[in-house]
Amino acid sequence: MIIRREQKSALAERQRRAQCDLARDYLRAELRDLVADLGDDALFEHCRESMEIGLAFGLSDHRSVVWLAAMRVLIHPRFHEHPRLRALLADPRVPPEARIDHVLAEATELDFHEAAIVGPGIPLAEP
């Protein structure tokens, strides 16, 4: 059996859609109040963007997509652009499947606070 490039692409798209549907359902269940104002299409798009962000860091598993989508709701839509969090998410010494745990172990409360309050694109004050 030969699988054509178009078939692989269609299968990959179905898998991405299914992963986004699961992430959207998780956010609806666990962050109900925070995502109540978002329609299904907007929340699905949020999850798709989260998946794209994850892929840029080499993260493609369901847990990573859900975590990124949740953090973008809880912290800031661009929290991953905070310099320290970005470095932890991209750390080549840590396998992609372990990077979320790495961020949770190494990032400080201050890192997350800065990501939420200061926002990306604004230089952080020196400690």
Kindly give the confidence (pLDDT) of every residue in the chain, 127 residues in length, as a single tens digit, with 9 standing for 90 and above. 666 777 777 777 788 888 899 999 999 999 999 999 988 899 999 999 999 999 999 998 889 999 999 999 999 999 999 999 999 999 999 999 999 999 999 999 999 999 998 654 444 443 3
Q: Tell me the whole-structure pTM to 2 decimals.
A: 0.80
**Which residues touch 34 (CB under 8 Å, ≥6 apart)?**
73, 74
Structural contact between residues 90 and 57, judged by C-beta atoms closer than 8 angstroms: yes
- Residue 96's pLDDT is 92
Q: Identify the burial level of 6 via C-beta atoms within 10 angstroms of its C-beta, where 0-12 means exposed, 13-18 middle and 19 or more buried.
A: exposed
- Residue 119's pLDDT is 55
- Residue 27's pLDDT is 93
- Residue 3's pLDDT is 66
| CA separation for the pair 107, 113 (Å, rounded) | 11
- Residue 124's pLDDT is 42
